[in-house]
Amino acid sequence: MEFPEDQPERDDAPPLLRRETIGLLSGPLVFGLVSIFEPFFIPTTASAVLAGTAWIAIWWMTEAVPIPVTSLLPIVLFSLSGAVSVSEATAPYADPIIFLLLGGFLLALAIEEWNLHQRIALSIVARVGVSPNRLLFGFMLATASLSMWISNTATAMMMMVPIGVAVVAQFTSMQHATTGAAPTDDVPDAESLPRSNFGIALMLAIAYSASIGGAATLIGSPPNAVFAGVASSNLGIEIGFLTWMLFALPASAVFLLLTWVLLIALFRPEPIGDTEITDAVQEQLAEMGPLGRGERRVLYVFILVAAGWILRPFVLQPQVPAITDTTIALIGGVLLFIVPVNLRERTFLLEWDAVSALPWGVLLLLGAGFSIANAFQQSGLDDSIAQAISIFANIPVVLLFGLLAAVVVFLTEINSNTATATVFMPIMISLGLTLGIDPIQLMALTALSASFAFMLPVATPPNAIVFGSGYLTIPDMVQIGVWLNLLAIMLVAALAYLWVPVIF
């Protein structure tokens, strides 16, 4: 994704001064220095893991090479340095959470294949009302609802941003008609549209609600999966789909409402063209026609899988003790390839050729995260870092939670949220054990904080996608993002302190 305002600077920079080149060289350099000098007075194996993690983190942050390629480095660096064996480094790439996400991705791919996500989004938007404020809420509700089950990246890129651009274009046309200018029937790209408060608020709403909705389920945002995987492998605690939803869904719902109120308060969308905009959404919905056979059958599979995840603890597991959320996800994934749409023509809900569109890089990234977490624990590096952070042991616990949430949120502004969660999870386990705090509280805080970064385009994929449309500027995002970050820090700290002990 190219960012219009940043791209010229990147192209004009001398090759040796580009971020990618600096990262490409500094990653191995830092690895070598840490490996040779073994700073911080920690064991040799811990230094080896620290050196490897530093190299990986630098390449992730600078994107010196593609992120999925960097995600293979734990296998190479940790095994060659003697920190862990090859089998110990590779085993986390087959963590059950990886396959839970794989099943979720297959389901999302089928939903997108049959355009069921577009119908859901348009139906929600069409039913909320005609005023700009209610239309804004409709977009947020639709985006958040889809992001719970489909990746927030796909929700923003393939669904909500194109619809949002069409609505902003219609809004602009109505403004021109009101002011006496000649409206146009053309729908231009976002970069060429005149800016309006409604347009800015709508595009930001799509980005933010994609992240907020994705935080509500284990498959909605990668940091959630990192939390569940590390809790299972390092603590032996299973974080089920329903358990996470009971914790995160209320937070997402409250934060979605707060974001909507803040967008309205800061941007004050103009009350022009509301009925016509809603009519435009209704027209798009009408063009789709009635629910097709493929859409209906994908919907049935989706309902079956979602019901299985929610009912597993108290309906399915008593009858089939071995069943897990991963098993349910993969059953749904397999069904997509055997449920026919047209048996005579051998057309099924999902064809294998479509699987090339799966985000395999995300699965590798998560595998790398689990491998790093395992290496932290095996080498004792997590204990060493936790001992260093324990200087904050005497401050009130709720303030400590706020401090940790702030660190994760603002670090995520410049780093991948998955990478941030990956590095912090094993540290939070050791910090919790050192300070006598339930590690699950600190890990849940980290997972949620990593999804709630709103200031900069690089913070989350939805931010980058919406910014990449060309309609927004960085000051637009910072103007509201800084307030959302502060609200998120307070909300997450309070939830970790009060709600986690009740749910987990």
Contacts of 169 (CB under 8 A, 6+ apart): 186, 187, 188, 193
316 in helix, strand or coil? helix
To which residue do tokens 């348009």 refer?
A: 122
The beta-carbon contacts of 87-92 under 8 Å, at least 24 apart in sequence, are 88/374, 88/375, 88/378, 89/371, 89/374, 89/375, 90/371, 91/374, 92/229, 92/233, 92/367, 92/370, 92/371, 92/373, 92/374
CB–CB of 203/191 below 8 Å? no
Which tokens in the block code for residue 79? 């095994």
The pLDDT, as a whole number, for residue 33 is: 94
Contacts of 429 (CB under 8 A, 6+ apart): 230, 234, 235, 377, 382, 439, 442, 443
For residues 279 and 109, give the distance between their C-alpha atoms in angstroms, rounded to a whole number. Answer: 29
The pLDDT, as a whole number, for residue 80 is: 93
For residues 40 and 331, give the distance between their C-alpha atoms in angstroms, rounded to a whole number. Answer: 48
The pLDDT, as a whole number, for residue 172 is: 66
For residues 272 and 131, give the distance between their C-alpha atoms in angstroms, rounded to a whole number. Answer: 9
92 in helix, strand or coil? helix
CB–CB of 504/444 below 8 Å? yes
Single-letter amino acid, residue 430: S
341: enclosing H helix or E strand: strand 340-342
To which residue do tokens 């660190």 refer?
A: 407
Q: Which of 121, 129, 131, 217 is nearest to 164 (CA)?
A: 121
Q: Give the chain's count of helices (H) and strands (E).
A: 25, 2
Radius of gyration of the chain (CA): 23
Exposed, middle or buried: residue 244 (CB in 10 Å: 0-12, 13-18, 19+)? Answer: buried
67: enclosing H helix or E strand: helix 67-70
Tell me phi and psi for residue 404, to 5 degrees.
-65, -40
To which residue do tokens 């990986």 refer?
A: 56
- HSE-CB for 89 with a 13 A CA cutoff: 20
Tell me phi and psi for residue 447, to 5 degrees.
-60, -45
Contacts of 31 (CB under 8 A, 6+ apart): 51, 52, 54, 55, 77
Which tokens in the block code for residue 110? 């089928």
Q: Which of 24, 17, 62 is nearest to 414 (CA)?
A: 62
85 in helix, strand or coil? coil
SS (H, E, C) 401-418: HHHHHHHHHHHHCCCCHH
Residue 434: how many CB atoms within 10 A of its CB? 18
Tell me phi and psi for residue 222, to 5 degrees.
-55, -40
Residue 38: how many CB atoms within 10 A of its CB? 16
| DSSP-assigned letter for residue 158 | I
pLDDT in tens, the chain (504 residues): 333 333 334 445 677 678 888 989 999 999 999 999 888 888 899 999 999 999 998 888 787 898 889 989 999 999 999 999 999 999 989 988 889 878 888 887 888 788 887 787 777 767 776 678 888 888 899 899 988 887 777 677 666 777 777 677 766 665 554 444 444 444 445 566 677 888 889 889 999 999 999 999 988 888 998 999 999 988 999 998 899 999 999 999 999 999 999 999 998 887 655 566 666 667 777 888 888 889 999 999 988 988 888 888 878 888 898 898 889 989 999 999 999 998 888 889 999 888 888 878 878 887 888 898 888 888 888 788 877 877 877 889 999 999 999 999 988 886 778 878 888 898 899 899 888 999 999 999 999 999 998 987 767 778 877 877 778 887 888 889 999 999 999 999 999 999 999 988
Which tokens in the block code for residue 336? 């997509």
Q: How many residues does the chain have?
A: 504
In the chain, domain spans: 1-83
118: enclosing H helix or E strand: helix 116-127
For residues 50 and 378, give the distance between their C-alpha atoms in angstroms, rounded to a whole number. Answer: 12
- HSE-CB for 85 with a 13 A CA cutoff: 3
Q: Which of 246, 152, 272, 284 is nearest to 208 (CA)?
A: 152
Helical H runs in 15-72? 19-37, 44-62, 67-70
Q: Let me know the angle formed at the C-alpha of 290 by 287 and 296, rounded to the nearest 5 degrees.
A: 125
